[in-house]
Chains A and B, each alone.
Chain A
């Protein structure tokens, strides 16, 4: 009898020692938060880079995001690279390398408003040869204004079922970030 009691107490003790999980209290940065989208525009044959920024530093809710108006020159072709940041984190966190590492699970879509004089092409590809879009080529046509939406989609699953034909609202993927910029071509 005494033995049984002893076993029970030992078993209980071991369980307690095992079950005391600890974690550091407090809120951590939202690892998935993207506060900032930067577009770096370099005209072909030039080294003058212009940057336009979408930033929502306080994340969901709170203050509305600040969005630059993209200003481009008539008839100019630009090499565009995208930078994603979490500027709410300390130190700030670069998201673009993560997206590039997971290139088969991500895709950026550039959707100019109807009747736009902007064409976006030449998106860089993932390792499977399907668009990724962290770099692209923009051609600004005749003087006009409008808006352009940039959406980063994320594919779940291993391996992700990413196909070239997937539309921006494909049920296979979900939105990590979406930003709409106004633009002016003059």
Chain B
């Protein structure tokens, strides 16, 4: 710890040492195919927060820049945004090729205000904010976005919650493919390596229709960076260490485009991560280690108007589950809950070893995506295959038992063809047909049945941009046939069901630029989600929650009516900006778990509370506000507030497990670049989560085992800088989570019944980019 503190001090003193900056960076942007000069392209140096628009000849020039390495983001209304890394040691000229994708339907970007996220339909995590999350899980990373929280099972398993909704109400799109893993339970985290992502986005509105009619909550896009589009190579090594659980992570990436084969480009990427048991301020939690091994391969071919890409990724994880949360029966559960601290038998081991209970999951994804541009038309074809294999190892009587108690294997094939047509410069259309086939097998303990499911569907999206207006609308229809098969343990009895669900979705979106700097967006969406196999057919003990869960085959699809209004304003001098997002999500036939405390299920191990899947009408309303203010040069303060009110309308009661209101503060200071150091910053965060007081009424029926935990505040610090090491622009950063080592519990973590959240966690990260000299 002393070492880290001294490193931090050293870093700050290094950063403070700065010198004159008088270099010039000029360049030229053009389309590599047509050699058309691109005027009106925005060139943005991320680290310096400087922006220019290219002139009629496609030229730009930045003056008085310090030596250092920078990320330049070039965007143009008709093109895919690209990022390039450059190193500046003397005056320099760069030529930028912008692949021109005239007909691409861009997602609505409510605002072009830099430094803030977009309101209404899109929230994005990229650049430095994304780098601060390297080494964390996907859900932890996303929870930096206002309105996004986490549903956790201990420190190893986390799922994103967007505006109070999670699980199958959120679609996760991994590099263009809808993630189909085992997302049934609250303790099944998405099987995705966040290191794949160049940016993470949460979108709402019309673009959700591209991925399904069932996005009741939102869609998460995990978007890799585009492949290299000029000859050369680039590599990047990321490494990090976290003191709390002695977790270390390394990730490597190599990408290249051969000089002799401009059409071809590829990338290899891999990550290894391993953590020991996590520590709360007072005790270390046994069996909370984790291990993750991931890699991916991308290969692309692009010639004239044809492009194709092949992507393969593999994700492999092993996650320990805190032993003190694995419960024999309700009496044991109440005993464990009533003692405010886990028994010493469950704490104190500092080891990387993972014992029972634990989960292991592997996910393979192969995707092929091709597109052909013909005049005003673009034709696309995407094929994908995913297999997901999950094993759960419960606590067993016999330590010689090496078997998993639950095996699940799910294979998913999906196909989509689409046609995009640009009628004129204002209007584009997109039509697509898609199909998906899924096969689920299981062995061991019963959780969900084996099933085969066949989906087909289609959608239309139209987008119109003119003057100050951006209008979008779309419809989607899906049909799902599912045949389930439960093979009971005596090997003879079968339990078979057939289901057919038709689901429909539509969305309209209007954005209007009231004046330069102020933009507003309104969206209305209807989405329909068919019940999942676990909601229909689960039947059995859930050890993590000490409940006996029973599904219902009579469930109907749930349907949401969501109105979302956003506004985004930034002052003329760009020193102040604000965004506001208000939503009302009415969900008919909302599927939820209702405890039946008066009907305990008796087992030989004792009584278990019964929980059944039911439907009711629900309403989720909320507000997200973010403001950013730069009162003095180089310093800014970001303040965010997120509020949600979630009610069961039929019983006029609050919904269980909904995130409490929260306030976030980020104070950042960006140092002027020096001779040796560039892009240096220090930031302090203070996040305050209120106590959830809106929990289901307990007057007549017991709904929860323990009252919601108290409010808490956490202080986090991050600092980073980039320096030249053998001419490589190496980025070094340090940080600390929960600096004050606060003891707290979170309402959305099921471990709150048993143990505190993890305590202070120092982290060190290094990023070494290597690239061809330009």
Contacts and interface: CB of A to CB of B under 8 A. Distances in A.
Interface of A: 1, 4, 8, 12, 15-16, 19, 21, 23-35, 37, 54, 56, 59-61, 64-65, 88, 90, 95, 98-99, 101-102, 154-158, 161, 169-172, 174-179
Interface string B400-428: 01010101010000000000000000000
A60 B443 contact: no
Given A21-B389, A169-B331, A30 B443 contact: no
B398 A23 contact: no
Interface stretch (B9-17, B604-612, B633-641, B708-716): B604-612
B362 A19 contact: yes
A161 B329 CA distance: 20
Contacts of A54: 604
B772 interface: no
B555 to A, nearest CB: 19
A27 B407 CA distance: 10
Interface stretch (B86-94, B157-165, B201-209, B487-495): B487-495
A16 B409 CA distance: 15
B52 interface: no
Contact of A64 (B488, B602, B608): B602
Contacts of A61: 539-540, 548, 550, 601, 603
25 contacts: A1-B264, A8-B268, A12-B312, A21-B409, A25-B441, A26-B487, A27-B443, A28-B445, A28-B489, A30-B445, A31-B397, A31-B403, A31-B405, A32-B397, A59-B604, A60-B605, A61-B548, A61-B550, A90-B491, A95-B397, A98-B397, A174-B328, A175-B331, A175-B606, A179-B604
B489 A32 contact: no
List the 9 closest pairs (A to B, CB-CB), nearest first: A174-B328, A175-B328, A60-B603, A171-B343, A26-B487, A27-B489, A172-B345, A178-B606, A23-B443
B345 A157 contact: yes
B526 interface: no
Given A26-B442, A26-B487, A178-B606, 9 more contacts: A8-B268, A8-B297, A25-B442, A26-B491, A60-B605, A98-B398, A170-B343, A172-B345, A177-B605
Interface in B359-402: 362, 364, 389, 394-399, 401
Interface in B681-724: none
Interface string B281-313: 000000000000000010100000000000010
A33 B490 CA distance: 14
Interface size class of chain B, counting residues whose CB lies under 8 Å from the partner chain: 35 or more
B394 to A, nearest CB: 7
A35 B445 contact: no
Nearest to B261: A1
Contacts of A34: 604-605
Nearest to A89: B489
B231 to A, nearest CB: 12
A60 B397 contact: no
Interface centre among A15, A32, A95 (most CB of B within 10 A): A32
B315 to A, nearest CB: 11
A158 B606 contact: no
B605 A175 contact: yes
B604 A177 contact: yes
Nearest to B404: A23
Interface centre among A24, A28, A158 (most CB of B within 10 A): A28
Nearest to B443: A23
Interface centre among B314, B328, B550, B606 (most CB of A within 10 A): B328
Contact of A31 (B342, B396, B540): B396
Given A8-B299, A19-B314, A174-B332, A25 B443 contact: yes
Interface string B491-526: 100000000000000000000000000000000000
Nearest to A88: B489
